Amino acid sequence: MTETKELVLEDFIRTGIISQSDRIKITEGAEIIRNGGLCAFPTETVYGLGGNALMREASRHIYEAKGRPSDNPLIVHIAELKDIEPLIAEMPQKARRLAESFWPGPMTMIFKKSELIPYETTGGLNTVAVRFPSHPVAMELIKTAGVPVAAPSANLSGRPSTTSGAHCREDLCGRVDAIIDGGSSEIGLESTIIDVTGDEPQLLRPGAVTREMLEAVLNEEVIEDTALKRPLSEGERPKAPGMKYRHYAPKAPMVLVTAKEKKDTGNISKKISELLEKKLRDEIDDKKAKAAVKIALLCSRECAEEMRGVLREDIDIKITGSRENTAEIAHNLFEYLREFDADGADYIIAEGYNEEELGFAIMNRLKKAAAWQIIYV
Ligand code: TXA
Ligand code: MG
């Protein structure tokens, strides 16, 4: 057990501006990282579990703290564009254009690594993932640490990523040296990952920098890794090793109900009602006493509205937001998946969304949380 120091940025949380007393706390976290310790910190996507990316031992400790397999490489965070130079073997032209358009921000690029980056940080790969986050606290922390900061999402392996200081405390207290609490992460989903080591950039993980945005800058179609399209068969390896794990997952089994085409969105609530009313209850009744079964529902305001009358009081409903506002849905998603664990849900039914733009990233996380149990209407 490590004693975990809680560094709460009270002024930043209240005002969005880093005060002098906040800065002292950030400096404390930065020193911990520079000296080989671990400190969780906020970014605009999700919280990161930071360590010195140039120290083998620090990377090993990150894997240990998360309970994460060590073949799953870490993202290296920088606070200025020029800081990338010593970390990578080359900067392809297309990567430069993407960096100019989307950094600082929620995008990670995969490069051929330089010798400076230890293999412990890259999970044994010859490539390195680099991100330049836009969150003011993350920037200040990395700058002050004076070293590139390796940071996976700050959750225990297999659990949904953390999007608040409270989530980090839940998962990491006693496992890391410090947690910087800077309030809730605005985007709520991890960064977009794009591999720029080949001639054709490839999307490995969708995020808030959408495929449509990448294509507009590159002026070409961006292909996606097969791991995004279907569950992998045994022994198959995705390009981003982390995408093979049952990630983002709440403890209870989850089924995702979604429409193949946007025009059929209205049928989702009908299908969910059907599941709630008979099929699901019958199935569960076989296994357990009815009273003990806690059914949870994760859906949009519109979907809940369409189902008024069907929804019984004992159903644990969480409203992700409006179907028309994917940013709101993304922001809330992991928080609610975590709450289902705390509520002790036995079975989760989730509404699916249209897969354009940010909807593609939301659906990627939902499909994985549901372990690809999908009902199409
Ligand atoms: O938004 C984010 O990206 C957050 C914040 C903290 O920056 N970080 C994050 O890290 O989500 P993590 O470790 O949870 O996810 C990193 C993903 C994993 O799926 C990993 O396999 C992939 O990036 N990755 C890292 N290095 C890679 C590499 N060299 N080649 C391919 N995939 C890589
Ligand atoms: Mg993660």
Sheet containing 254-258: give its strands across. 316-319, 295-299, 347-351, 254-258, 374-376
Ligand 1 pocket, residue 367 CB under 6 Å? no
Q: How far is the CA of 81 from the centre of ligand 1 (A)?
A: 19
pLDDT tens-place string over residues 74-88: 999 999 999 999 999
Closest-lying ligand 1 atom to the alpha carbon of residue 72: 21
Comparing 78-82, 89-93, 132-136, 345-349, the range with the smallest average pLDDT is: 345-349
Residue 56: predicted pLDDT: 96
Residue range 214-224: average pLDDT?
96
State percent of the chain over pLDDT 70. Answer: 94
Residue nearest to atom 30 of ligand 1 (CA): 240
8 A C-beta contact, residue 40 and residue 47:
yes
Residue 293: predicted pLDDT: 77
Q: How far is the CA of 152 from the centre of ligand 2 (A)?
A: 6
Please say if the pLDDT value at position 202 is more than 70.
Answer: yes
8 A C-beta contact, residue 40 and residue 133:
no
Query: How many CB atoms lie under 10 A from the CB of residue 104?
Result: 19
Residue 306: phi and psi, rounded to 5, are -65, -20
The band of 376, judged by pLDDT with boundaries at 50, 70 and 90, is very high
How far out from the chain centre does Cα 236 lie?
22
Residue 98: predicted pLDDT: 98
Name the token pair of 298: 């994760």
The band of 245, judged by pLDDT with boundaries at 50, 70 and 90, is low
| Share of the chain residues as helix, strand and coil, in percent rounded to the nearest 5 | 40, 20, 45
pLDDT tens-place string over residues 254-302: 999 999 999 999 999 999 999 888 656 666 666 655 556 788 999 999 9
Between 55 and 228, residue with greater pLDDT: 55
State percent of the chain over pLDDT 90. Answer: 80
Which residues lie below 8 Å from residue 192, measured CB to CB, with a gap of 6+?
106, 107, 108, 203, 205, 206, 207, 208, 209, 210, 214, 361
By most ligand atoms within 8 Å of CB, the mutation choice from 128, 153, 155, 164 for ligand 1 is 153
Residue 311: predicted pLDDT: 83
Residue 150: phi and psi, rounded to 5, are -80, 130
Candidates 317, 321, 329, 373; CA nearest to 355 is: 329
pLDDT tens-place string over residues 118-142: 999 999 999 999 999 999 999 999 9
pLDDT tens-place string over residues 164-196: 999 999 999 999 999 999 999 999 999 999 999
C-alpha distances out from residue 184 to 26, 82, 157, 317, 365, Å: 17, 29, 20, 22, 19
Residue range 225-244: average pLDDT?
80
Closest-lying ligand 1 atom to the alpha carbon of residue 113: 29
Ligand 1 pocket, residue 243 CB under 6 Å? yes
Ligand 1 pocket, residue 206 CB under 6 Å? no
Please say if the pLDDT value at position 249 is more than 80.
Answer: no
Please say if the pLDDT value at position 204 is more than 80.
Answer: yes
> Rounded mean pLDDT of the chain?
93
Q: What is the CA radius of gyration of the chain?
A: 21
Between 162 and 242, residue with greater pLDDT: 162
